Amino acid sequence: MANLQKQIDALTAYFQADCARPGVLPIALTIEHFITRLDGTPVDYAQLAQVIYSMQGHDEPLREDNVYLGFRCPSYTITIQAGCQVTISLAPYPTVLQAMAVYEGCFTRLCNALAANNMYARTVGVHPSRRAELLPLVPQSGYMIMDRYFRNTGNQGGVMLRATASTRVTIRYTSEADFVRKFRVACLITPLLALLTDNVPLYQGESNHNYSIHTHIWNNVDPDRCGIYPNVMDSNFGFESYAAYILQQPLVVARHGARIVGVGRKSAFEVYPSFLGHGDIEQILSMFYYDVCLNHNGIELRTADSLAPRYAASYAQLIKTLFSSHAAQEGILRRYAGANSAQIEAAKSRMRVFGIVDTLEYLHKGGRMSTSVAVVGSLLRVKPIIPLKDGVLGLVGKGVGTKGSLAGMLKQVGDDIHPDPRLPIYYGYSGDDTLCRQFVPLMEEKFGPHGQEIRSIGCVIGTHLGPNAAA
């Protein structure tokens, strides 16, 4: 096992060397985009490669197995992914404002180049117009090897490669202890981040009414490399344990010189010699897609769907603010003390947001309800029961009067997902908390006592819901 230990030492030294100096927390941002014709039909690799090449200029081209995959410049990298998604990856920047200025400049260049060829960039979590099996796969050997391999590890590998797109934020750590704390916090908030960034209005070309489709797909690709990293809450978790674990998992593909070759279920420990160069380490790290994982820039949070620029900026700022606050991270660790990887994994599919509005007036004013429906609903004292999904307000039911609306939301909570008594329930209100506090004892009577917090709803959502709403 001497060879394995040398590899562990190499990865541990790599992680240690990546520690940043204390101070401003830089972030790196990566956003994936689906490219379609204006009518939604997908483009093929040859068409897309020509467009990306036209943007390259004097920048460094990126090729693998002699297949053109994009280019790199000092501030960002543009690459073509397995299903002809286009990824914009930014270098780390001290502020979200700086990062978004670079991204928006690059995104505008991309959109202009696409428009000249009657193409369009779409920021959603899953391809909006086609089933995955109808989407082209880039003719690069690594992608084709992975496509075949994932057919035997789950039922969503082909969908993941061809039809998913994400927003990924990478944060730095200053020490191994800082890494452990931030990595654990990132895993603990993954269920909430998946819910907040759920952006799949269409799935397989049809309207989607389910939550977290993107998460479901990735959870069913390969348990060896997806989901929540399994040992994150172990007492010995750190650089060495992370390195030892991934070095012994199936690697699927490896780099031999300029070639990408399939290695199947052989691990990095079996494939590579004891000496690992930086290129070898980066290739090994790139083959693991945990919701939170380590890459060459730090800790990468991968769970968010692809988001439009204004939402990506808000999400990146949320991450930066949280991981710049030691107190906030410690508060999360205390709040969820005792949680394990399996519980975090289960929570990803159990996060929901429901609300009741007291009046239809504000939904109407905000353009979310027609005049005729609002008038009739008000006359009948209808109170809609509303889920928050894909960043928008939907409608799952209606109740007449306060009692009817509370009973309807109670039923919806029970039908959609039976609350786990080990997890807290958060209640929100706008203006007056009366309706909210009426609902709490009904929930406790039906589902038993939970840890609970009651807070005021923020002004943006509250403006659309109006006063005396409850969630």
Query: Domain 2-347 maps to which CATH number in 3.60.20.10, 3.30.590.20, 3.30.70.100, 3.40.50.150?
Result: 3.30.590.20
> What are the residues facing 171 on neighbouring strands?
27, 299
Tell me: the pLDDT tens digits for 182-198? 999 999 999 889 988 88
Nearest to 229 by CA among 289, 146, 155, 269: 289
Which helix (H) or strand (E) element contains residue 446? helix 434-447
Tell whether the model's pLDDT for residue 385 goes beyond 60. Answer: no
Query: Predicted confidence band at 234 (pLDDT cuts at 50, 70, 90)?
Result: very high
Average pLDDT, the chain: 84
Model pLDDT for residues 283-293, shown as the tens digit of each residue: 999 999 999 99
Do domains 2-347 and 354-465 share one topology? The answer is: no
Confidence at residue 356, expressed as pLDDT on a 0 to 100 scale = 67
Give the domain ranges of the chain. 2-347, 354-465
Q: What is the pTM of this model?
A: 0.84
pLDDT at 185: 97
Q: Using N-to-C axis directions, what is the helix angle for 278-285 and 2-17, rounded to 10°? A: 90
Alpha-carbon span 195 to 326, nearest angstrom = 24
Three-state DSSP state, 365 = helix
Classified by CATH at the fold level, domain 354-465 comes out as Hypothetical Protein Tm841; Chain: A;domain 3 (3.30.1180)
- Indicate whether 453 pLDDT > 60: yes
